[in-house]
Structure 1
Amino acid sequence: MILLVPGDPLRPRRPDEHFAPEAAAARVAGLDVAVVDHDALTRGGAGRAVGAVPAGSGVAVYRGWMLRGPEYAAFAESLAVRGVRLRTTAEEYRKAHELPGWYAALATVTPLSEWTEGWRRADFERARIGLGSGPAVLRDYSKSMKAYWHEATFIPDLDDAEAGWRVAQRFLELREDEAVGGFVLRRYERFGSAEVRTWWIDGECVLVGAHPDTPHEIPGTEVDLVAVAPLVAGLGLPFVTVDLALRADGVWRVVELGDGQVSDRPASMRPEDLIARIAD
């Protein structure tokens, strides 16, 4: 197996500084490592992006920055030409990376959600009305703007159509060309703990750690995965992360599921621990 990481923009033959610790850990674990040009991947140059990947390297796992579904598909196709197969297919990547791909399977353990295809107000209104009354959280298929909570994420009352649309417009302003798929409206649930990021390989939870946004905060209560585990396994995905938080009533809820290749590792997690699970 070969680990693929983004190259440093200024020193393209070296791993990007953010992923260099994982690249070093992979080499120590006996894995081959190659760099790819992330900028080229996002600009339609997938063939050029994988030029440094040795031909015939076999199965590859990517650890890098987020890619849109079509970008990842082009990435996979360009690697296949070189005799390299990404362990996560383009279909599997999109299923994990975009909320509509995984929501139905996890609907019982995650906030109620409605979404649109595209960014038209009429579609937003249908989703808003479909979710009902009360507060909600806005995002797109792959990302929220929770750093801008009050202006681009939180909708205090879905019955206030104008206020909701202002939040949606501000979300689009901030996401600009990076917005993916359409609007996603999620029922707001009050959580009483920091989020936990769990790492899953072939449907089995192999690591539990802090969320990258709160790398040194772990809930005092052990994460209960009894309800979540069979649902994640049922997705049949090779490498994902599942972020959970303890709701105010003491129930663990899924906040997000993502493809493990583009999920950030918290600073408090040793790169060796993650790479060891990937290598296994």
Structure 2
Amino acid sequence: MLLLVPGDPLRPRRPDPHFAPEAGAARDAGWDVAVVDHDALAAGEPGPAVARVAGAGPAVYRGWMLRAERYAAFAEALAAREVTLRTTPERYRRAHELPGWYDPLAALTPETAWTVGADRDGFDHARQRLGSGPAVLRDYTKSMKHHWHEAAYVPDVADRDGAWRIARRFLELREDDFTGGLVLRRFERFTSAEVRTWWIDGRLALVGPHPDTPDAAVPDGVEVAALAPLLAGLDLPFVTVDLALRSDGAWRVVELGDGQVSDRPASVPPDALIGALAGQAADA
């Protein structure tokens, strides 16, 4: 198995410091490691981005987030070098963008409506599907939760102008990073910090804190029994699912993401993640 990680912008032959611990753990586990140029990938230049990748066979990427179309070009450029990403472009999009995973998990996650694009008419139709009450705004891949009151929390989706004011500010902050469409998720009150669970081929591999709260204790009894068969049906090779405990005691899905571009909190040892992925490789 080959692990691909972004190169250090200042020393491009070396792994980016953020991913260097995982690169080291992979080498210790007997993997090959190669660096790619993330800036070139993000700029739509996949050929130069993979110029330092040598060898052939299956690969896993651990790096910064990529748009689905950039990931597809990345996969194509690697294929030309006889390297195959374990996660296909279609599966990456399904995991990376909320519309790809929402319907199968609808019973376990807040009610959601979304647009295609960012026009106001589409946004109004999405609002009307939720009816009334508070919601959280995001796009297909990301929220602006660190700008909670100005660009994330919608006090009442029935307030047409107030909701659009939040949406406009969200679009201003996301700028060129805006992806897909506007997404409204019904607000639910959670009583725990988020927990990040890691799944490989539909099986739970790791449970740990969310990167936003890396030192938070993981609550006892994180419940995934209802989630496991739904994830198996999604047929995604490597994903994370962030869970939180709702005020009524139910564990709810806050987010699903492709595991290749999901951050690992420092409190989760890099060898634990690489060991789980090594098990995936052994089973392949």
Q: Same fold (TM over 0.5)?
A: yes
Task: Give 1:49's aligned amino acid.
Answer: A
Amino acid at match of 1:31: W
Which residue matches 1:70? Answer: 69
The Cα of 1:219 is off from its aligned counterpart by 4.2
Deviation of 1:227 after TM superposition, in Å, equals 0.9
Deviation at 1:151, TM superposition (A): 0.5
1:221, CA displacement in angstroms? 2.9
Distance 1:40 1:10 in 2: 14
CA-atom RMSD in angstroms: 0.7
Q: CA deviation at 1:233?
A: 1.0
Query: Which residue is 2:6 aligned to?
Result: 6
In the alignment, what sits opposite 1:250? 249
Q: Are the counterparts in 1 of residues 8 and 17 from structure 2 also a CA contact under 8 Å?
A: yes
Q: In 1, Cα distance between the equivalents of 2:45 and 2:89?
A: 17
Q: State how far apart, in whole Å, the 2-side matches of 1:163 and 1:9 are.
A: 42
Q: Does 1:126 align with 2:101?
A: no
Q: Distance in 2 between matches of 1:219 and 1:59?
A: 33
1:226 corresponds to which letter in structure 2?
Answer: A
Contact 2:60 2:260 in 1 (8 A): yes
1:178-193 equivalence runs, <5 A: 178-193=177-192
* SS in structure 2 at match of 1:177: helix
1:23-42, Cα deviation, whole Å (9 max, x unpaired): 01100011000000000001
Deviates more, 1:5-14 or 1:218-227: 218-227
Corresponding residue for residue 282 of structure 2:
none
Aligned ranges 1:185-224 → 2 under 5 Å: 185-224=184-223
Deviations 1:188-208 (A, max 9, x none): 000000000000000000100
Q: Is the 2:104–2:230 contact (alpha carbons within 8 Å) kept by the matching residues of 1?
A: yes
Q: Following the alignment from structure 1 to structure 2, what is the Cα–Cα distance between the partners of residues 121 and 111?
A: 22
Is residue 41 of structure 1 aligned with residue 41 of structure 2?
A: yes
For 1:113 and 1:44, how far apart are their aligned partners in 2?
Answer: 31
Please, which runs of 5 or more residues in structure 1 have no aligned partner?
none
The one-letter code of the counterpart of 1:68 is R
SS at match of 1:168: helix
Contact 1:96 1:102 in 2 (8 A): yes
**Does the 8 Å contact 1:135/1:187 carry over to 2?**
yes
Paired position in structure 2 for 1:17: 17
State the match for 1:53 in structure 2. Answer: 53
1:185 Cα offset (Å) = 0.3
Give the counterpart letter for 1:6 in structure 2.
Answer: P
Instruction: Kindly indicate whether the alpha-carbon contact (under 8 Å) linking 1:196 and 1:218 is maintained by their aligned counterparts in 2.
Output: no
Partner of 1:234: 233
User: Secondary structure of 1:96's partner?
Assistant: helix
Q: Contact 1:193–1:219 at 8 Å: present in 2 too? A: no
Size of the aligned set, in residue pairs, is 279
Could you tell me how far apart the structure 1 residues matched to 2:124 and 2:239 are?
A: 32
Deviation at 1:222, TM superposition (A): 1.6
Amino-acid identity (%): 68
**Residues 132-143 of structure 1 correspond to what in structure 2 (within 5 A)?**
132-143=131-142
Q: Is the 8 A contact 2:208 2:218 kept in 1?
A: no
Deviations 1:126-184 (A, max 9, x none): 00111110000000000011001100000011111111001101111111100100000
TM-score (norm 1): 0.99
CA distance in 1: counterparts of 2:88 and 2:273, whole angstroms: 21
Does 1:28 find its partner at 2:56? no
Amino acid at match of 2:140: Y
- Cα distance, 1:216 vs. partner? 1.1
Distance, in Å, in 2 between the alignment partners of 1:158 and 1:222 is 34
Letter in 2 for 1:240: V
Measured after TM superposition, the shift of residue 230 of structure 1 is 0.7
Task: Extract structure 1 runs of 4+ deviating beyond 2 A.
Answer: 218-221
What residue identity is the alignment partner of 2:194? E
